[in-house]
């Protein structure tokens, strides 16, 4: 009986250590992620300032890349599928270095008619 108790207490201690170690790993991982996030906004040129959004610019104006049957209830005509390319301009608060983050807008232009 005492032998069983001894084994059991060793097992319990091991289980406790194991759960402690397992419990620690995600906490550490989360901390590291939280640390990396602000660094991503740091200026890559000077490593001093942070990159803040300054402007939005149009790089490529609206153009038609496709069409579909009108979905607005008109029996004739089509809807033009258009997109344009824009960019957010980020500027360093310290050295003034700029970087762009491009993104695409899409819209549907109805040319349907009766
Ligand atoms: Zn900078
Ligand atoms: Zn339409």
Average pLDDT over the chain, rounded to an integer = 81
Count of residues making up the chain:
114
Residues 103 and 75 in one domain: yes
> Which of 2-6, 20-24, 61-65 is least confident?
20-24
Residues 52 and 5 in one domain: no
Give residue 22 CA to ligand 2 midpoint distance, Å: 57
Give residue 1 CA to ligand 1 midpoint distance, Å: 70
Cα dihedral across residues 58, 60, 66, 73: positive or negative:
positive
pLDDT for 69 equals 95
Residues 79 and 24 in one domain: no
Give residue 67 CA to ligand 2 midpoint distance, Å: 10
Task: Give the ligand at the shortest distance from the Cα of 43.
Answer: 1
Task: Enumerate helices (H) and strands (E) in the chain, giving the number of each.
Answer: 1, 3
pTM over 0.75: no
Residues 49 and 88 in one domain: yes
Is residue 86 within 8 Å of residue 58, measured between CB atoms? yes
Is pLDDT of 2 > 50? yes
Overall domain count for the chain: 2
Structural domain containing residue 1: 1-40
Residues 47 and 89 in one domain: yes
Residues 34 and 64 in one domain: no
């Amino acid at each position: 009986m005492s032998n069983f108790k001894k084994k059991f207490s060793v097992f319990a201690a091991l289980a406790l250590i194991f759960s402690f170690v397992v419990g620690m790993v995600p906490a550490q991982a989360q901390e590291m992620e939280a640390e990396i996030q602000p660094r991503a906004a740091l200026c890559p040129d000077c490593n001093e300032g942070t990159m803040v959004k300054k402007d939005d610019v149009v790089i490529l104006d609206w153009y038609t890349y496709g069409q579909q049957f009108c979905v607005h209830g008109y029996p004739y005509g089509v809807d033009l599928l258009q997109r344009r390319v824009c960019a957010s301009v980020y500027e360093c608060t310290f050295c003034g270095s700029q970087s762009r983050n491009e993104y695409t807008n899409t819209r549907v232009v109805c040319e349907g008619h009766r």
